[in-house]
C-alpha cells in the first residue's frame, strides 16, 4: 500500500518531496548582542534540511515583538545576514525553509521593550503566564509577565507595517516564504480570542473586528512578497497564555473562509494536544469537529501539528485530515526524522532541560542514522 506521507506535494511555487514538515521550535540560541543567527544556528537547520519544509523558529518582527531571551529577529541588517546563511545552508542540502513571523504582544517583559516600556496587547489585563528573561547576572530565568498596555490605532498600524517589512527582509534573507504566527497566545491570537480582546473599537467585539488585525497583516504581507509565499498558523481551541474564545467554531471558521481570497501557500493548524510544552490531558472534545469544519472551510493546502507519530501522521494524510504534518520535538532529537519515519527506525529522545538556551549540547549533537 503506498505511504502517502512520503508522496510529493506542491505548496506555492515549491514542490516538496514528501509531507513531513519541521514545526517552528523556539530554542533561544540567537547570537548576542542583536539576536542574530550564528554559525551554530546554521548547522542546526542544515542538519534538518531533509524536512519537506522547515518552518523556522518564531522570529520577532521588531524589538517590541520580542518576549523571550535569545530569540532571533528579522528587523536589522545583521539579522538578515545571519538568516541568509541559514537559508543558503538549507538550500545547499536540497531543502526548503519558511521564516515564521512573530510578535508576542503581551507575553513579554520591559527588559525586552524599547525604553523599558510595557508590552503591548489588545487590552490591558493580567496575563496568566511567565516568560523567559535575563536576570541581573545575565542568566535565563522564568519571570512574571506584567499587565500590558493597550495598543492605540497608530500603534496597530505600525505593527502591520512591521510585519510587511519583516516579510520583505525574510525574502532578502533567501527564505522561500513566510509563515505568519497567529496562534499560541501571541499578539494576533490575542486579538482573535474573545477572552483577551475586550476592545470596543473596530478591532474588538464582533468576530469580524477581532479577526481584522490578522487579515490586515495578511493583506500587507501578501502584497509585499506574493500570496504563494505566505502561510498562516492558527491554534483554534488553544489555551496557552490565557487564550479562550466564546464561539471558536464561528471565529476560526470565519478566518479560514476569509483566508481563501489570497490563495496562500498553506494554512497551519495546531491540534490542542499541547499547551506550551506540556501535554494537555483535557483538550476540548469539540476539536475534532472543528478541524473537519476548517478542512472544508479552507480550500488550500492544510498542515496540522500537535503530538503526531509516524503512524498517526500517515493516517491523517490517508484519511484526508491534512495534506502535511509538522513535527516539533521529534525533530529536535532526530535531525534525519523523515528517514527514520520512512524506515520505521527508532527515535532519539530529546533532552527537555536543553530546549531553551545553552550551547551545542542538546542542539546540534543528536546523532543521525548510520
What residues are labeled active site?
186
Beta bridge partners of 181: 233
Beta bridge partners of 179: 100, 231
Closest CA to 232 of 289, 277, 173, 192: 192
C-alpha distances out from residue 83 to 100, 103, 178, Å = 12, 18, 13
- C-alpha triplet 228, 230, 234: angle, nearest 5°: 135
d(CA 120, CA 118): 6
Strands 130-134 and 177-181 turn out to be unpaired
Beta bridge partners of 278: 275
SS3 132: strand
* DSSP, residue by residue, 88-115: HHHHHTT--EEEEEE--TTS--TTTSGG
Amino acid at each position: 500500500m503506498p505511504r502517502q506521507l512520503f508522496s510529493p506535494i506542491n505548496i506555492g511555487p515549491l514542490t516538496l518531496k514528501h509531507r513531513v514538515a519541521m514545526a517552528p521550535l523556539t530554542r533561544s540560541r540567537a547570537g548576542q548582542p542583536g539576536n542574530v543567527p550564528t554559525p551554530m544556528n546554521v548547522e542546526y537547520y542544515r542538519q534538518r534540511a531533509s524536512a519537506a519544509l522547515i518552518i523556522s523558529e518564531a522570529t520577532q518582527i521588531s524589538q517590541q515583538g520580542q518576549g523571550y531571551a535569545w530569540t532571533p529577529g528579522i528587523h536589522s541588517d545583521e539579522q538578515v545576514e545571519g538568516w541568509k546563511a541559514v537559508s543558503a545552508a538549507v538550500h545547499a542540502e536540497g531543502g526548503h525553509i519558511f521564516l515564521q513571523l512573530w510578535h508576542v504582544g503581551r507575553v513579554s517583559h520591559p527588559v525586552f521593550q524599547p525604553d523599558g516600556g510595557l508590552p503591548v496587547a489588545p487590552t490591558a489585563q493580567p496575563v496568566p503566564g511567565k516568560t523567559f528573561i535575563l536576570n541581573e547576572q545575565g542568566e535565563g530565568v522564568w519571570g512574571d509577565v506584567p499587565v500590558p498596555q493597550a495598543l492605540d490605532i497608530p500603534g496597530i498600524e505600525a505593527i502591520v507595517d512591521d510585519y510587511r517589512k519583516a516579510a520583505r527582509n525574510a525574502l532578502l534573507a533567501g527564505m522561500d516564504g513566510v509563515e505568519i504566527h497567529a496562534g499560541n497566545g501571541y499578539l494576533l491570537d490575542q486579538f482573535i480570542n474573545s477572552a483577551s480582546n475586550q476592545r470596543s473599537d473596530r478591532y474588538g467585539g464582533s468576530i469580524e473586528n477581532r479577526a481584522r488585525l490578522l487579515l490586515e497583516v495578511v493583506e500587507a504581507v501578501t502584497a509585499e512578497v506574493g500570496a504563494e509565499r505566505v502561510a498562516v498558523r492558527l491554534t483554534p481551541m488553544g489555551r496557552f497564555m490565557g487564550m479562550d474564545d466564546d464561539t471558536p467554531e464561528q471565529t476560526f471558521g470565519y478566518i479560514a473562509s476569509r483566508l481563501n481570497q489570497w490563495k496562500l501557500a498553506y494554512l497551519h493548524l495546531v491540534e490542542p494536544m499541547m499547551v506550551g510544552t506540556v501535554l494537555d490531558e483535557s483538550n476540548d472534545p469539540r476539536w475534532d469537529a472543528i478541524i473537519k469544519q476548517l478542512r472544508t472551510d479552507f480550500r488550500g493546502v492544510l498542515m496540522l501539528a500537535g503530538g503526531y507519530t509516524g503512524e498517526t501522521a500517515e493516517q491523517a494524510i490517508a484519511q484526508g485530515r491534512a495534506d502535511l504534518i509538522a513535527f516539533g520535538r521529534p525533530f529536535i532529537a532526530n535531525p534525519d526524522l523523515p528517514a527514520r519515519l520512512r524506515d520505521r527506525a527508532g527515535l532519539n529522545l530529546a533532552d527537555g532541560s536543553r530546549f531553551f538556551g545553552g550551547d551545542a549540547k542538546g542542539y546540534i549533537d543528536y546523532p543521525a542514522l548510520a
